[in-house]
Amino acid sequence: MANRTFKVYGQAYAEAGDVTATLTVGGVQVFNGAVNDSTTVRSGAPTTENHLFTFTLDENTTGDLSYSLAVSGGELCLGPTSYNGAVIQTPVVPQSWFDANMPDNTNVSAEAQDYLADQYGEEKLGTTLYNKMKAGTLSSYYEGADADTLGAANTATSTEWSGYYRADDVRSSAQVDGQSLSWTDEEAKRNWVIIEDGQTFTCTWKFSPATVFEVAEA
């Protein structure tokens, strides 16, 4: 099985030496060591997104995961997490082609229809619409009974392992040293956590790689 890589961002500060973090996810220790940043002094609410550390999980690890982050040597402000192996949607035919070849969607040339039919294929379009486009008899691309089918046909879904995408980072039942942070559901998606030297942050981390990210160009 393959591993999915996670990058944790935030800021950390130690008066001397390094801030050390120990992260356990789903009952398994996935990181234990010095973080990459130990020099960013916090002023007010934390906002600086430095790459603190990286960890991996089996790609099939999803769902409501126990999460425990212990900090020593200084202060760590836990921000967002990014991961690879995300589900992305890209257009089969980029918008730049439509801008150049179909500036007026009510006047779709036979050449443009033939090209799009070949790009989408009969399986996505269905035989009737595919044959219509090959014959050049489509009256409009964005309107009418065929519009939804054409829109869906121009969407390609894949799993992206080379890039990183921001996780939802829903951290429910959040506590620091057993003291509840009393976050609302919305706050659990976006709040940073300030973890002082010697403290441990715990939560239920809701991770799902099924979140779909739309990318404008292939």
DSSP class of residue 116? H
Would the pTM count as exceeding 0.75?
yes
User: 117 CB contacts (<8 Å, ≥6 apart)?
Assistant: 125, 130, 133, 134
* C-alpha distance from residue 138 to each of 100, 110, 130 (Å): 18, 8, 10
Per-residue pLDDT of the chain (218 residues; tens, 9 = 90+): 589 999 999 999 999 999 999 999 999 999 999 999 999 999 999 999 999 999 999 999 999 999 999 999 999 999 999 999 988 888 999 988 988 888 876 678 999 999 999 999 999 999 999 999 999 998 888 888 899 999 999 998 888 898 899 998 999 999 999 999 989 888 888 899 999 999 999 999 999 887 777 776 54
Q: Are 171 and 67 in contact (CB under 8 A)?
A: yes
Give the CA dihedral 110, 113, 119, 124, nearest 10 degrees.
Answer: -140
- 80 token code pair: 């967002």
- 137 token code pair: 């008899």
Q: Are 81 and 169 in contact (CB under 8 A)?
A: yes
Q: Domains plus CATH for the chain?
A: 3-84+162-211 (2.60.60), 93-153 (no CATH)
